[in-house]
Structure 1
Amino acid sequence: MTPDKQITSVSIEDKMQNSYLNYSLSVIIGRALPDVRDGLKPVHRRILYATKKLGLVPNKPHKKSARIVGEVLGKYHPHGDRAVYDAMVRMAQDFSQRYKLIDGHGNFGSIDGDSAAAMRYTEARLAPISEKLLEDIEEKTVEFVDNFDGSLEEPTVLPTKIPNLLVNGSSGIAVGMSTNIPPHNLSEVIDGLIALLDDPEMSISDLREIIPGPDFPTGGQIIGNSGIKKAYETGKGKITLRGKSKIEDRGRGRKRIIITEIPYQLNKSKLIEEIAKAVKKEKISHVSDVRDESDKSGLRVVIDLKKKANPDIILNRLYKYTSLQSNVRINMLALHNQKPEIMNLKTILNHFLEFRQEVITKRTKYKLNKAQDRKHILVGLKKAIDNLDDVIAIIRNSESTKRAKKNLQRKLEVTKNQAEAILNMKLQRLVSLEIEKLEEELEEVREKIDYYQSILNDESILNNILKEELNKIKENFGDQRKTEIIHDDSKADLEKSDLIKNEEVVISFSQRNYIKRTDSTDNIRTSKNDFITKVLSGTTHDKLLFITDQGQTHILKNHKIPAHHGLSTGDPLNNFLKLPLNENLIDIILLNDEVKEKYITIATKKGLVKKTKGSEYESTVSTIKAINLNDDDQIIDITVTDGEQNLLLATKEGYTIHFDESEVAPTGRNTKGRKGIKLADDDEIISINKTTEQDLVLALTAEGRGKASSIEDYEMQHRNGKGLKTMSNLSYQLLSAFTVKKTDEIIALTNKDNIIKKEITDITQTDRLGGMYSQFDLKDDETITKIIKSIHKKE
């Protein structure tokens, strides 16, 4: 080994880790993710900058695309020419970009997936809107860095006046992360920016009133608001996008479906192929022909239907079995200060506003410096004119330009730059008219300096300029929304269509977790040693909510449960729903239109009460959260309320509290709720009940002791009090306490697997603090483990 070389041992794991990290950062920052300020990736930024440097502005002729690609490759982007050209092509496609950044001439591809012609055939120049991305770039508004070989400089970001990240969106896959930001309407985004500038504290909900959702270049329909809301609030979400269609009559009782708009980034030819395959496989019936009649006037895919075909049914099947309806994932990931961040809508808008304020500030400082330099020269020229005889004498008597410059500086007390300007002054400036113009220019420059300084010293003036510029952009480039938003989330559920016939059903559930769907209550059956605990009437389009003690809601659609008739006892619940081992089922609620307008009210072991609008449980996923529980808490009981009822909480130690439901304000699902009752350290909630004036309160212990008391004995109190005792004997603990009617029947289960039925009229009735009497004939070592209200009543 030569003495000037040294070998250092490096762990291959460390070397691989460092190398991969460097590669990851290079991909994330240098290729895959857009900057939150101008919404561009490096390749797009370099294409626009190189095109401008070539002079290919909108009022100049197009030039060959190969010329632009070569300029980008040779000066700024040392990667493959195909990658650069593909990026430029996409910027010129009106079906890919909401607002085209490149004005292409020639074949730049089609919505059918046709490739663009080779770059030697096509021509391009900047689109008019792109000038607004590059405007003021020469005025030191953005930072420039060396290009890849250090021979030139390129901008790190464009000083855009266009909120390009949102209006054109972006997609890309980096290492371990990806971005998918949908395009938006320019007019709406600018209105949102101006509103946020006027009120920086406005909420995302308020912004959504101005920017209701994405706006795709291919139009279509967004179904529902929930996905947009989630994406705008968290930066991540999923929306359902559907093509637009209309139904035409073609005579003789036949109709046709005309598809006029398709989902964003969907290949039209692929869609037609999907429709043909679905027809061939008989997933879609009563279709006689599918053809493409698109032309320069617009997209038109024609589906001819057979006689007596129902076009609405076929449309639903098209949504179900083809890409005419598809889900679009939103992941608003962009670079901020060279770091990838997932941002919500307000954050993205704020970053753009901050960037524009920074650009205007830098532009103003640049213009101020230029104006001050000009003022400096003009003051020197005016001194020269005011002392013209001295100037002439100095120039005549100086043996050289250098000496004349120094003599002028000394005699007139001017700077070196002013002296140079005096020496370069033309003799024509000495006529009286030119002298007057000089004085006018000096006055104008002073006014400009005052104006520029006012911008830098007063943020409100700067913001007014920002608003004026945004309004000018909106006036010049704004347009109408292309994508319609259908606000009803349920429209995205294709099972609420002809695919699932809407029929009335009865769902029964047994103590041993058997579930059965029938068409009437006449067919409800159970096996021996089992009994029905729940009977729910609804339709095949409704859903069942299985809410567990751990705060989770598992959703099962009614039509997923097979219909049974006759003597069948149904199917085990775990055939359809796999509840985690750590979760115990508390209640089943049928989610129909009526329940969606009411409240699902929950009581927890630790005394919390929470109510949430039933509509918040409408979801397309199979498991959602019902409540945000503390680690030591769990759901104990659930009831459905209408907002105007009285509630009764009961505890293990025999305390109750009776209060108006209005004392519990409604909240979202992912909240903890409000305190219903103050519990002693060793006490816990056992039930929550709705009450009426005819109710009795049934209180029972595991030993079979209990009583029934009139609800009148339980006077109304305010929520979060200690409550009232429901028994005088402090040695008992309650197993159950719930409201009943005199016509009700209860069922008790014991640790010996016995099932004991008892009518309420056979229960001892006393006042609230009355004695706890034996109500069941139990064996010596037998105890009650569970008491429920029977679904049957006395005639």
Structure 2
Amino acid sequence: MSENTENQQDGKIIQINIEEQMKTAYIDYSMSVIVGRALPDVRDGLKPVHRRVLFGMNELGNNSNKPYKKSARIVGEVMGKFHPHGDSSIYDTIVRMAQPWSLRYMLVDGQGNFGSVDGDMPAAMRYTEIRLQRMAEAMLEDIDKETVDFSLNFDDTLEEPTVLPTRIPNLLINGASGIAVGMATNIMPHNLTEVVDGLIAYIDNRDITIEELVKHVKAPDFPTGGIIYGYEGVKQGFETGRGRVVVRGKINVETSKAGRERLVIYELPYQINKAALHQKIAQLADDKIIEGISEARDESDRDGMRLVIDLKREAIANVVINQLYKYSELQTSYGINNVALVKGRPRVLNLKEMLAEFVDFRHEVVVRRTRFELRKAEEKAHILQGYLIALDHLDEVIALIRASRTPDEAKDGLMSRFELSEIQSKAILELRLQRLTGMERDKIKEEYDEVMKLIAYLKDVLSDEGLRFKIIKDELEDVRKRFGDERKTEIQYLASEMRMEDIIAEEDVVITISHLGYIKRTSAYDYRQQKRGGRGALGGKTREEDYIEHLFVASTHHTMLFFTEKGRCYWLKVYEIPEGEKSGKGRAIQNLINLPTDDKIRAIIDIKDLGDKDFISSHYIVLCTSNGIIKKTLLEEFSRPRQNGVNAITVNEGDQLLEAKLTNGNSEIMMAIKSGRAIRFPENTVRDTGRGAIGVRGIEVDNDKDEVVGMICVNKEDATRTVLVVSEKGFGKRTDIEEYRITNRGGKGVKTINITEKTGSLIAILDVTEKDDLMITCKSGITIRMAVADIREAGRATQGVRLIRLDDTDEIAAVARLDEQEEEKLDNEGMEGEGSEQLRDDSSEDPGTATAEASEDETPAE
């Protein structure tokens, strides 16, 4: 198809193919959008409008150390000189560069209302004021040293830079997004410290792989924080320039004074509107899509974000959190599409290419800056050389000047008489008289020497590429020191992506679980050894009605099996347990596993590796209940973790699971009851059954008055172990296991400790060796650590010695064994409390006690 077009100049009609005309016009338009509007330059990471705003502010002297200027003044300056478009597009650009939730590192310092994360509009430009951030000034540094090319503005009256000579890797740290014609870009923001580390690693090794670079530039880092959920898409984006990153908001679980749980959202995914999210959550609750929410309200203030969701009493926090991630924008995915202009052409770039382009640009800037500084230094040296010549012939110069009728005659005379250049002659004629003194001559000589040294150094820079890259590294390290910060966005790897054990240091930690279900892990070295009978150190701050109930030591690489009083089993890696201060409360265990509110943890087993087939097929879990029921199940039945847990034992009404132990099938089992009796029988008398079975009777218990307090499983070949029993008032002793005769399972057992009002009921039974340490925790939160060797052996019918001094209202809550003493005992200076001196055995305080107790007959077993 064609169309006739009349040429107005010569009257001829030229045939034009309309298809070709439309193609050409559209390509011109699309290239204009791509290059001049929508895509950032790979070198400074800016689109033209951002670059013009920053340059215009710099030209106005609107710097970080100067007073703010009205935004409208800047908009007018940029629109009138460089950006011939609407004022709203310029002001929107300024606003975004001043919003801490939009840019990871802000470039504009704003004063006034610049909108909110709720989507509120900023105030009009006549009300707000702005100035450059220090980071933006670092992007404009050296712009007056011919470091970058300038081009004419829209009306050819002024010049503007085609790129800023930035020291800041802005494309990576602030990212960019834009829609052009036929293409788009979406580059994620990153952490400045990490990016600088990556740039330095690239400079040190140009052949570095992306896999090695990822150790430095770990993942995107969003201004609003959040959690990157899964790493595969991030890795793909780094390797190919295209990928997908999933970001979740951060949620805390709190418990109100009334005991009700609530979720607190305190960080959102990038670019999510908080008010819209609040409305969406309320709608999900109203529509019964999420059942467990009773109310959602926004408690955010100037101290931070706080979107509170009250849960219904029967709701499980972890379930509601997962539903929020599924149904709301609390979990959002972003497409990575690293498209930027490279030498004026759009390209998809991977991580290494983006770093390489920036380093190449910095190298070009350093070369151009050095050439400029060398030229200026040589010009200055040339003039100073002329000064020195004139000062060496001062009388002749003065005479020549006085004899000349005009300045031009004096200039020509100086040039011919002393072989000076025109520049030198002009400078001499303009020299002030005060510089003719002897002291000033010395200063000129010193200045000349300094300039010559600078010239030599600048020439070295231009001739030595290694020196140039050292300058680039030094400037990057200065940027990191001035502007670097910590990551805001956490990285959460999926189980299918990598073994967390590879990136988490293996160390022993102390794990504590409180009566109300708060769990934490603490370094074992925070607990120092103390002498028997001491006051102890505070092991955990708890609420008045709470106290530490379980306390044990495990490696961060192990898996914990949690058994609840209703007979359920849950799994958790030790490194997944939140780390806390020794005096901290910890985190509600419902946040970590899907534990119903009416159930609680009763026993914990530490497994090194659930994937070891030989181990799980040769070991057993032995369970006992408060009513004396015992059950044995193969460990392999518990080797496949499930999010909602599995049934470990069927518990009868009025009973509850009390203890769980790991055995090798060749142990002897001892069970002890509150009234001070214990039974010993071989493990092989209990046949192994499936997870759903009820079990068999282990010891006879009077259900109305008594209950089982503990169970131990001792290997028959291990003759070093003794039985340790502890009463609730702080008394304890060790007894040789052979003092307990082997009886039939299901009997009454024999006396294990003499129970009196002074000792209180039996609280714990453990198997220990003299190499072990003991950790005792009281209901008041006091914790004491002592060597088992300090506890003397005594007959099974004695009441033992005082292990810990308790207040009248306090009782022991938990007793745990540390498998081995630390190789280096920590100094206990400053950790011993009042009354930490060695106490005499209570049996020696009352000489008749031990004799009388030892003479009592054993209770016959049935």
TM-score normalised over the length of structure 2: 0.57
| CA shift in 2, pair 1:30/1:12, >3 Å | same
1:117, 1:17 → 2: CA distance?
A: 43
Structure 2 residue 290 is matched with structure 1 residue 257: no
| CA shift in 2, pair 1:74/1:3, >3 Å | closer
Match of 1:104 among 105, 110, 115: 110
Residue in 2 aligned with 1:432? 438
2:40, 2:493 → 1: CA distance?
A: 30
1:305, 1:434 → 2: CA distance?
A: 82
Match of 1:121 among 123, 127, 132: 127
Unaligned runs of 5+ in 2: 1-5, 499-609, 613-862
Give secondary structure in 2 for the equivalent of 1:209: coil
Residue in 2 aligned with 1:399? 405
1:50, 1:161 → 2: CA distance?
A: 19
Match of 1:277 among 261, 283, 288: 283
Residue in 1 aligned with 2:64? 58
1:186-216 Cα distance to aligned partner (Å, 9 max, x none): 0000011011101111100000011110000
Residue in 2 aligned with 1:173? 179
- Residues 227, 491 of structure 2: 8 Å contact kept: yes
Of residues 438-447 and 281-290 in structure 1, the stretch that sits farther from structure 2 once superposed is 281-290
| CA shift in 2, pair 1:335/1:489, >3 Å | farther
Q: CA deviation at 1:274?
A: 1.2
Residue in 2 aligned with 1:335? 341
2:462, 2:495 → 1: CA distance?
A: 48
2:12, 2:121 → 1: CA distance?
A: 54
Match of 1:289 among 295, 306, 322: 295
Paired residue total: 495
1:680-727 Cα distance to aligned partner (Å, 9 max, x none): xxxxxxxxxxxxxxxxxxxxxxxxxxxxxxxxxxxxxxxxxxxxxxxx
Query: Which residue identity is paired with 1:476?
Result: R
What are the residue-to-residue correspondences of 1:741-780 with 2, within 5 Å? none
Residue in 2 aligned with 1:360? 366
- Residues 254, 308 of structure 1: 8 Å contact kept: no
Q: CA deviation at 1:15?
A: 1.0
Q: CA deviation at 1:491?
A: 9.7
1:43, 1:311 → 2: CA distance?
A: 47
Residue in 2 aligned with 1:413? 419
Structure 2 residue 476 is matched with structure 1 residue 470: yes
Residue in 2 aligned with 1:248? 254
2:230, 2:23 → 1: CA distance?
A: 44
Q: CA deviation at 1:490?
A: 5.3
Give secondary structure in 2 for the equivalent of 1:10: strand
Residue in 2 aligned with 1:8? 14
Match of 1:315 among 308, 314, 321: 321
Structure 2 residue 91 is matched with structure 1 residue 85: yes
What are the residue-to-residue correspondences of 1:490-569 with 2, within 5 Å? none
1:359-388 Cα distance to aligned partner (Å, 9 max, x none): 011111100000000000011111111111
- Residues 225, 489 of structure 1: 8 Å contact kept: no
- Residues 241, 338 of structure 2: 8 Å contact kept: yes
CA-based RMSD of the aligned residues comes to 1.5
- Residues 223, 489 of structure 1: 8 Å contact kept: no
Unaligned runs of 5+ in 1: 493-592, 596-795
Structure 2 residue 132 is matched with structure 1 residue 156: no
Give secondary structure in 1 for the equivalent of 2:15: coil
Dislocated runs of 4+, deviation >2 Å? 1-7, 489-492
Residue in 1 aligned with 2:211? 205
2:294, 2:346 → 1: CA distance?
A: 51
Query: Which residue identity is paired with 1:431?
Result: T
- Residues 223, 491 of structure 1: 8 Å contact kept: no
Match of 1:482 among 469, 478, 488: 488
1:391, 1:5 → 2: CA distance?
A: 73
Match of 1:454 among 453, 460, 467: 460
2:473, 2:396 → 1: CA distance?
A: 51
Give secondary structure in 2 for the equivalent of 1:103: strand
Q: CA deviation at 1:389?
A: 2.0
Structure 2 residue 395 is matched with structure 1 residue 389: yes
Give secondary structure in 2 for the equivalent of 1:454: helix
Match of 1:25 among 3, 24, 31: 31
Query: Which residue identity is paired with 2:155?
Result: D
- Residues 195, 217 of structure 2: 8 Å contact kept: yes
1:319-376 Cα distance to aligned partner (Å, 9 max, x none): 0000000111100000000000000000000000010011011111100000000000
Q: CA deviation at 1:430?
A: 1.2
Match of 1:235 among 238, 241, 247: 241
1:221, 1:459 → 2: CA distance?
A: 41
1:424, 1:87 → 2: CA distance?
A: 48
1:62, 1:269 → 2: CA distance?
A: 31
Residue in 2 aligned with 1:712? none
Query: Which residue identity is paired with 2:228?
Result: I
Match of 1:422 among 420, 428, 442: 428
Residue in 2 aligned with 1:697? none
Give secondary structure in 1 for the equivalent of 2:247: strand
1:8, 1:387 → 2: CA distance?
A: 77
2:65, 2:436 → 1: CA distance?
A: 40
- Residues 232, 497 of structure 2: 8 Å contact kept: no
Residue in 2 aligned with 1:214? 220
Query: Which residue identity is paired with 2:36?
Result: G
2:260, 2:361 → 1: CA distance?
A: 58
Query: Which residue identity is paired with 2:382?
Result: H
Residue in 1 aligned with 2:350? 344
Query: Which residue identity is paired with 2:62?
Result: L
Q: CA deviation at 1:6?
A: 3.3
1:480, 1:323 → 2: CA distance?
A: 25
Of residues 110-119 and 272-281 in structure 1, the stretch that sits farther from structure 2 once superposed is 272-281
- Residues 66, 120 of structure 1: 8 Å contact kept: yes
2:402, 2:234 → 1: CA distance?
A: 79
| CA shift in 2, pair 1:100/1:489, >3 Å | farther
Residue in 2 aligned with 1:42? 48
Q: CA deviation at 1:251?
A: 3.8
Residue in 2 aligned with 1:631? none
Q: CA deviation at 1:286?
A: 1.8
- Residues 186, 338 of structure 2: 8 Å contact kept: yes
Q: Percent identity?
A: 52
- Residues 224, 490 of structure 1: 8 Å contact kept: no
Residue in 2 aligned with 1:325? 331
Q: CA deviation at 1:3?
A: 6.6
Residue in 2 aligned with 1:443? 449
- Residues 112, 267 of structure 1: 8 Å contact kept: yes
Residue in 2 aligned with 1:560? none
- Residues 368, 453 of structure 1: 8 Å contact kept: yes
Structure 2 residue 149 is matched with structure 1 residue 143: yes
Give secondary structure in 2 for the equivalent of 1:119: coil
1:59, 1:46 → 2: CA distance?
A: 20
